């Protein structure tokens, strides 16, 4: 079906729109989609979801657009396609309710054919409801955050997301492909339909393979055309060489079959395309994960769906930026925690080369929060899972399906064993080419009262030394090709003895443990990778990652990481999880630097710890990381201070103001292998760390005491953007001294002014504890930095960003919008 983007100029209103009276009484606000209706709302210490949502609050809102439906479409089918609407959405056409669904992440197609008036404007209204708080364990956003499409085509047409092509085998210089193309006949009569497929390298008109066949599609029915194609000298897709093809499907409605075929005088044609990559996947306990026959260990990171300062708004540019930065650190895989991702993220992974562990649900029949998906699972799981798998199954980046995360039914409660098999078999019926998995955790929940009484109930506690977990989850893993272990690395070898054919994946892993966990992954062939929680910071689960410091003799201080979980130690206005390799603005954090060292980087990374923490007992949350900073600006002259260096080398020497304070071997032991600590007294100036391998310098890093904040510096990531309403310009703002060095402790209140062909889509810093509104023109720098995100409209021209702050010269930059 032909696709028309509908994202321009919707009217957004608060509340539930149930009559045209509201349209007249409330002018609303004109917005372009994708749009998050929650991110600009006030945060509150009384927010019902508290830390889960980063103190944001849900509510009712609606979007309205008048859409002209041409008279020429009267014999066609017309519908709306959404990549995700948050949440409990309903669609009205001209005042009549047409559809209603609950899942905020799953794709949805809504047929409008019998409701629209052809040759006239039609009022389309989408109501959304995120008021059932708490409804999630993280920030959800609200509204049409992934945009909207209008589809139209002949009565005999390709079903949306109905093209499925997969690689059967690659051998002897050929790729042997199979395809399924789903065709719908929304009209009368048994139609004979010619279905044709062509395969071309992306961006090329050269046809690498083609095939066609004729099928019959009965009245008001769907039918599948099953086809094969052979590609000579195929270009294979993997994370290092993401070679893409584009598949084009066309459907010709040839005529009606009664007792014989009668050809129509006018042949109606429908077309659609999808990205595709030729690659094979296998996983077993002997060889591990093989992509195109080559062994791959998944260097993975979990990602939630929000995009920081933009809230939940999803655009291809923001997803591409994220994937590029993750690849620079060494990631080759992401897990879409814990829900269907955006189509934009999948496309970015296809194009840039990133493996995807594609996840469906965070809750099944048993809920985790009162307002979550458990209320709708029984009625909706099949349609939501089907839509999700059908959308993503032709994409080469998707290499593994997940039916859920930390599901309470994992021990059999709520008919969990049968449900687990049911979901796995459903996925396999839609796509039998990829392994099916599930992220299973320890029994900190998920047991009946009798068994739970003996378990540590703290989240992801894993101190059970029996085989209860193995015995109770074995039926749950029926139907799974790969078993996901959340935070249970200590069970890998033991469980391999119990289940020697089991393929294991570290589906979630504590970030600070990568140094001593990763060598085990490399050693064990049946363990195919790990996924850190998380790769990119996100809104909600506020303060999940933190490091706190107490006097050694403080008898009242907490001693266990479960004692500093968010619910008790992240008071308002904590906002972000603070547990990632990258902050919400895209700056790499020390945790990310450390991971890059573990994965083989030969760089040296040098950090300091605040003098006020010296001599104190450190307690990090399970998802936390030691509080180290790229800073040498302190007021504590003469005070003892610790320096921390991350290095893959054998030895590191540290010089303070030119004087060596020692040369030490880099630790290879727990808790932080590939690191070394030095003690000195704080003196302003310069610190240099030099890494040595076999006595020779490998790399070095330095910290310097900067001068006072003197200037604002704009560092744009691009100077031009497209006038398509979807492009973004990221502009980093740095507070620098007279020598141009970033002042790492500078907190400067900024004001942004954007004029011309862009709008200020997001403005803020990575501060995890803030009340600031990312949609406002004011923001305060955090550790010397802030970020402005400009979004284009639909008119070409130029755009100017100006930044001012008290005591600083205004800085500005002009960008082209074409």
Counting residues of the chain whose pLDDT is more than 70, the rounded percentage is 99
Mean pLDDT over 630-645 rounds to 98
Q: How confident is the model at residue 466 (pLDDT cuts 50, 70, 90)?
A: confident
Residues in contact with 84: Cβ distance below 8 Å, sequence separation at least 6, in sequence order: 104, 105, 106, 107, 108, 145, 146, 314, 340, 342
Using an 8 Å Cβ cutoff, are 412 and 472 in contact? Answer: yes
Answer positive or negative: Cα dihedral of 351, 353, 357, 363.
negative
Using an 8 Å Cβ cutoff, are 685 and 703 in contact? Answer: no
Closest by CA position to 758, among listed 727, 717, 734: 727
Residues in contact with 642: Cβ distance below 8 Å, sequence separation at least 6, in sequence order: 608, 609, 613, 614, 677, 678, 679
Q: How confident is the model at residue 464 (pLDDT cuts 50, 70, 90)?
A: low
Determine the pLDDT at residue 455.
72
Closest by CA position to 126, among listed 192, 34, 203: 34
Distance, in Å, from the CA atom of 430 to the CA atom of 424, rounded to the nearest integer, reads: 10
Using an 8 Å Cβ cutoff, are 689 and 606 in contact? Answer: yes
Q: How confident is the model at residue 689 (pLDDT cuts 50, 70, 90)?
A: very high
Q: How confident is the model at residue 460 (pLDDT cuts 50, 70, 90)?
A: low
Largest CA distance in the chain: 98
How far apart are the two ends of the chain, measured CA to CA in Å?
29
Q: How confident is the model at residue 463 (pLDDT cuts 50, 70, 90)?
A: low
Determine the pLDDT at residue 485.
98
Determine the pLDDT at residue 462.
66
CB neighbours of residue 243 within 10 Å: 16
The one-character DSSP state at 57 is: -
Q: In what order do the strands lie in the sheet with 720-721?
A: 720-721, 811-817, 797-804, 749-756, 778-780
Distance, in Å, from the CA atom of 328 to the CA atom of 332, rounded to the nearest integer, reads: 10
Determine the pLDDT at residue 236.
98
Distance, in Å, from the CA atom of 273 to the CA atom of 189, rounded to the nearest integer, reads: 27
Mean pLDDT over 523-534 rounds to 98
Rounded to whole angstroms, what are the CA distances from 77 to 70, 72, 73, 114, 122? 12, 11, 8, 9, 15
Q: Crossing angle, helix 377-392 and helix 343-352, to 10 degrees?
A: 30
**Is the pLDDT reported for residue 554 higher than 90?**
yes
CB neighbours of residue 294 within 10 Å: 11
Tell me which of 81-85, 452-456, 681-685, 703-707 is least confident.
Answer: 452-456
The one-character DSSP state at 514 is: H
Residues 502-522 as b/e (b if ≥16 CB within 10 A, e otherwise) read bbbbbbbbbbbbbbbbbeebe
Using an 8 Å Cβ cutoff, are 531 and 300 in contact? Answer: yes
Residues in contact with 438: Cβ distance below 8 Å, sequence separation at least 6, in sequence order: 402, 403, 404, 405, 407, 420, 424, 476, 477, 480, 483, 484, 507
Q: Looking at the chain, how many residues does it have?
A: 818
**Is the pLDDT reported for residue 793 higher than 90?**
yes
Determine the pLDDT at residue 408.
97
Rounded to whole angstroms, what are the CA distances from 365 to 43, 417, 450, 530? 31, 12, 21, 27
Question: How would you class 286 by CB atoms within 10 Å of its CB: exposed for 0-12, middle for 13-18, buried for 19 or more?
Answer: exposed
Mean pLDDT over 112-126 rounds to 98
CB neighbours of residue 695 within 10 Å: 7
Q: By three-state DSSP, how is residue 502 classified?
A: coil
Residues in contact with 671: Cβ distance below 8 Å, sequence separation at least 6, in sequence order: 512, 513, 515, 516
The one-character DSSP state at 142 is: -
Q: How confident is the model at residue 237 (pLDDT cuts 50, 70, 90)?
A: very high
Residues in contact with 21: Cβ distance below 8 Å, sequence separation at least 6, in sequence order: none
Distance, in Å, from the CA atom of 181 to the CA atom of 195, rounded to the nearest integer, reads: 8
Determine the pLDDT at residue 456.
72
Determine the pLDDT at residue 452.
87
**Is the pLDDT reported for residue 454 higher than 80?**
no
Determine the pLDDT at residue 461.
66
Q: CA-based angle 515:517:522, to the nearest 5?
A: 105
Distance, in Å, from the CA atom of 285 to the CA atom of 493, rounded to the nearest integer, reads: 12
Q: By three-state DSSP, how is residue 112 classified?
A: coil
Distance, in Å, from the CA atom of 78 to the CA atom of 100, rounded to the nearest integer, reads: 17
Distance, in Å, from the CA atom of 661 to the CA atom of 750, rounded to the nearest integer, reads: 40
Q: CA-based angle 201:202:208, to the nearest 5?
A: 20
Distance, in Å, from the CA atom of 632 to the CA atom of 181, rounded to the nearest integer, reads: 61
Using an 8 Å Cβ cutoff, are 773 and 763 in contact? Answer: no
Rounded to whole angstroms, what are the CA distances from 190 to 162, 215, 262? 20, 10, 11
Q: How confident is the model at residue 459 (pLDDT cuts 50, 70, 90)?
A: low
Distance, in Å, from the CA atom of 363 to the CA atom of 406, rounded to the nearest integer, reads: 8
What is the per-residue pLDDT across 180-204, written as a single tens digit (0 to 9) for each?
Answer: 999 999 999 999 999 999 999 999 9
Helix (H) or strand (E) holding 323: helix 316-329
Q: What are the residue ranges of helices labelled H in 479-531?
A: 492-498, 514-523
């Amino acid at each position: 079906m032909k696709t028309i983007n509908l994202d321009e100029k919707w009217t957004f209103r608060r509340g539930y729109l149930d009559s045209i009276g509201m349209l007249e009484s409330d002018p609303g606000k004109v917005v372009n989609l994708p749009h998050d209706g929650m991110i600009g709302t006030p945060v509150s210490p009384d927010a019902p979801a508290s830390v889960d949502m980063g103190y944001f609050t849900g509510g009712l809102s609606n979007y309205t657009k008048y859409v002209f439906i041409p008279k020429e479409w009267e014999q066609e089918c017309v519908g709306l396609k959404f990549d995700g609407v948050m949440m409990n959405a309903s669609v009205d056409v001209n005042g009549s309710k047409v559809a209603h669904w609950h899942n905020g992440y799953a794709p949805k197609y809504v047929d409008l054919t019998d409701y629209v008036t052809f040759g006239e404007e039609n009022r389309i209204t989408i109501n959304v409801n995120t008021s059932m708080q708490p409804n999630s364990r993280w920030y959800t956003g609200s509204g049409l955050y992934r945009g909207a499409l209008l589809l139209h085509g002949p009565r005999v047409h390709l079903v949306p997301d109905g093209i499925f092509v997969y690689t059967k085998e690659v051998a002897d210089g050929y790729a042997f492909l199979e395809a399924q193309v789903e065709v719908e006949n929304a009209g009368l009569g048994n139609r004979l339909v010619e279905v044709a497929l062509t395969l071309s390298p992306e961006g090329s008109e050269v046809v690498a393979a083609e095939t066609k066949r004729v099928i019959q599609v009965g009245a008001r029915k769907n039918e599948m055309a099953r086809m094969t194609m052979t590609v000579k000298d195929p270009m294979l897709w993997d994370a290092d060489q993401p070679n893409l093809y584009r598949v084009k499907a066309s459907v010709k409605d040839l005529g009606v079959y009664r007792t014989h075929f009668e050809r129509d005088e006018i042949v109606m044609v429908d077309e659609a395309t999808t990205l595709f990559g030729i690659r094979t996947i296998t996983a077993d306990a002997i060889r591990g994960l093989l992509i195109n026959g080559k062994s791959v260990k998944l260097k993975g990171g979990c990602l939630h769906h929000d995009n920081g300062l933009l809230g939940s708004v999803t655009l291809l540019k923001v997803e591409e930026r994220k994937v590029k930065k993750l690849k620079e650190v060494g990631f080759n895989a992401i897990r879409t925690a814990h829900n269907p991702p955006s189509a934009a993220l999948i496309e970015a992974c296809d194009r840039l080369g990133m493996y995807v562990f594609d996840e469906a649900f965070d809750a099944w029949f048993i809920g985790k929060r009162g307002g979550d998906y458990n209320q709708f699972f029984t009625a909706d799981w099949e349609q939501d899972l089907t839509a999700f798998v059908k959308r993503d199954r032709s994409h080469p980046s998707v290499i593994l399906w997940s039916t859920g995360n930390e599901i309470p039914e994992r021990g059999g409660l709520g008919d969990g064993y049968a449900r687990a098999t049911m979901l796995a078999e459903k996925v396999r019926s839609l796509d039998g080419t990829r392994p099916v998995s599930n992220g299973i955790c320890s029994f900190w929940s998920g047991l009946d009262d009798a068994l739970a009484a003996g378990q540590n109930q703290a989240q992801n506690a894993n101190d059970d030394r029996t085989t209860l977990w193995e015995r109770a989850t074995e039926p749950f893993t029926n139907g799974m090709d790969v078993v996901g272990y959340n935070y249970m690395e200590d069970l890998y070898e033991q469980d391999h003895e119990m289940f020697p054919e089991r393929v294991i994946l570290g589906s979630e892993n504590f970030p600070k443990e990568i140094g001593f966990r990763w060598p085990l992954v490399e050693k064990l062939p049946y363990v195919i990778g790990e996924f850190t929680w998380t790769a990119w910071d996100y809104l909600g689960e506020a303060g999940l990652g933190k490091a706190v410091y107490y006097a050694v003799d403080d008898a009242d201080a907490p001693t266990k990481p479960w004692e500093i979980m968010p619910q008790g130690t992240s008071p308002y206005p904590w906002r972000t999880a603070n547990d990632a390799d990258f902050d919400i603005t895209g700056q790499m954090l020390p945790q990310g630097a450390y991971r890059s060292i573990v994965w083989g980087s030969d760089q040296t990374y040098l950090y300091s710890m605040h003098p006020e923490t010296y001599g104190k007992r450190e307690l990090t949350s399970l998802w936390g990381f030691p509080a180290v900073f790229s800073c040498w600006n302190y007021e504590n002259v003469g005070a003892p201070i610790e320096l921390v260096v991350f290095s893959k080398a054998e030895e590191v020497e540290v010089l303070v103001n030119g004087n060596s304070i020692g040369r030490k071997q880099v630790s290879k032991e727990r808790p932080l292998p590939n690191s070394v600590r030095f003690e000195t007294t704080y003196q302003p100036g310069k610190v240099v760390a030099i890494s040595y391998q076999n006595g020779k310098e490998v790399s070095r890093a330095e910290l310097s005491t900067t001068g006072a904040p003197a200037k604002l510096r704009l560092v744009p990531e691009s100077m031009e953007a497209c006038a398509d309403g979807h492009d973004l310009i990221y502009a980093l703002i740095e507070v620098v001294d007279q020598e141009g060095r970033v002042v790492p402790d500078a907190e400067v209140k900024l004001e942004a002014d954007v004029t011309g062909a862009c709008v200020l889509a997001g403005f803020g810093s990575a501060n995890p504890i803030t009340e600031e509104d990312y949609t406002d023109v004011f923001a305060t720098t955090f550790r010397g930095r802030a970020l402005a995100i400009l979004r284009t409209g639909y008119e070409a021209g130029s755009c100017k960003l100006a930044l001012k702050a008290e005591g600083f010269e205004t800085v500005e930059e002009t960008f082209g919008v074409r």
